[in-house]
């Protein structure tokens, strides 16, 4: 048994040695055929820069959106890329290029895109974007000055919506004119109330609420009336059925009494 195992192990070892001796090594730009007997050229779009016995070639490098090809891909070497003017390369092969914040994209006459520093009065907060003008503040003035990577911050950044919310509160308090001393306050409140309160907004809501209550009560009363009618009909039907049963019982017992009387008379 031990001798057979030794022979089998020796056979496998000899097979591996023969395979190593007969192994095919391909040159750069070639790959080993699937049957591992000969080499074939790398297809278009693929390459191999070193000799070896691999059955697959490597895919050529694609250049990014903001980069261009400086050396085309061949069967022996990969493509070489370079970022456009002003862009920062995010990897050593210039596949990923970025226009940082503070700089903006700009179209050139030849149709290319470059990245350049935003001019005064403009900014960019994100990468690969175009420069935007600073915000214009009103008479309140500037709180924080802008730069190439951030916008201006105003002292009173009130928007039209915020202004309306501040000038016209959601709930208004009416001050009655009780004396001459409060005439000014009352007149001001009256003018504000004319602007805030729409005459058609109060009464219609009350009328709608009253209508809803009336419809609800009417529905409940109608439901109760229908239930009352149904119960009454059931009671009437049961009453008539019981009355009919009583009449049938009386009709059936009467002949028995007559037959009994005849029997006695006989």
Nearest to 86 by CA among 127, 117, 132: 117
DSSP 8-class letter at 74: -
**78 vs 166, more confident:** 78
pLDDT for 245 equals: 60
Q: In the chain, where are the structural domains located?
A: 23-59
- 144 close to 135: Cβ distance less than 8 angstroms: no
Class of domain 23-59: mainly beta
Q: What is the mean pLDDT of residues 82-110?
A: 89
Nearest to 128 by CA among 92, 165, 156, 90: 90
Q: Which pLDDT band holds residue 246 (cuts at 50, 70, 90)? A: low
pTM: 0.44
In whole angstroms, what is the distance from residue 80 CA to residue 63 CA? Answer: 8
In whole angstroms, what is the distance from residue 173 CA to residue 78 CA? Answer: 78
Q: Which pLDDT band holds residue 43 (cuts at 50, 70, 90)? A: very high
pLDDT at 134 over 50: yes
- 142 close to 155: Cβ distance less than 8 angstroms: yes
Q: What is the mean pLDDT of residues 130-152?
A: 90
pLDDT at 242 over 90: no
pLDDT for 102 equals: 93
pLDDT at 129 over 90: yes
In whole angstroms, what is the distance from residue 77 CA to residue 50 CA? Answer: 9
């Amino acid at each position: 048994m031990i001798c057979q195992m030794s022979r089998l192990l020796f056979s496998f070892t000899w097979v591996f040695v023969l395979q190593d001796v007969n192994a095919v090594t391909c040159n750069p730009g070639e790959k080993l055929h699937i049957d591992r007997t000969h080499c074939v050229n790398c297809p278009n779009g693929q390459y191999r820069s070193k000799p070896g016995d691999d059955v697959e070639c490597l895919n050529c490098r694609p250049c990014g959106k903001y980069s261009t090809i400086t050396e085309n891909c061949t069967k022996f070497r990969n493509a070489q890329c370079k970022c456009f003017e002003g862009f920062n390369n995010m990897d050593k092969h210039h596949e990923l290029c970025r226009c940082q914040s503070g700089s903006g994209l700009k179209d050139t006459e030849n149709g290319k895109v470059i990245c350049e520093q935003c001019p005064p009065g403009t900014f960019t907060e994100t990468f690969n974007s175009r420069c935007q003008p600073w915000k214009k503040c009103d008479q309140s003035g500037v709180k924080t000055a802008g730069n190439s990577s951030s916008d201006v911050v105003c002292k009173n950044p009130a928007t039209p919506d915020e202004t309306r919310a501040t000038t016209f509160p959601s709930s208004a308090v009416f001050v009655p004119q009780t004396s001459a001393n409060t005439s000014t306050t009352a007149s001001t409140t009256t003018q504000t109330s004319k602007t805030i309160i729409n005459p058609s907004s109060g009464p219609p809501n009350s009328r709608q609420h009253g209508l809803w209550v009336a419809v609800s009560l009417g529905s409940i009363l109608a439901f109760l009336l229908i239930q009352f009618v149904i119960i009454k009909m059931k009671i009437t039907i049961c009453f008539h059925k019981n009355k009919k049963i009583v009449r049938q019982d009386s009709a059936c017992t009467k002949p028995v009494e007559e037959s009994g009387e005849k029997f006695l008379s006989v």
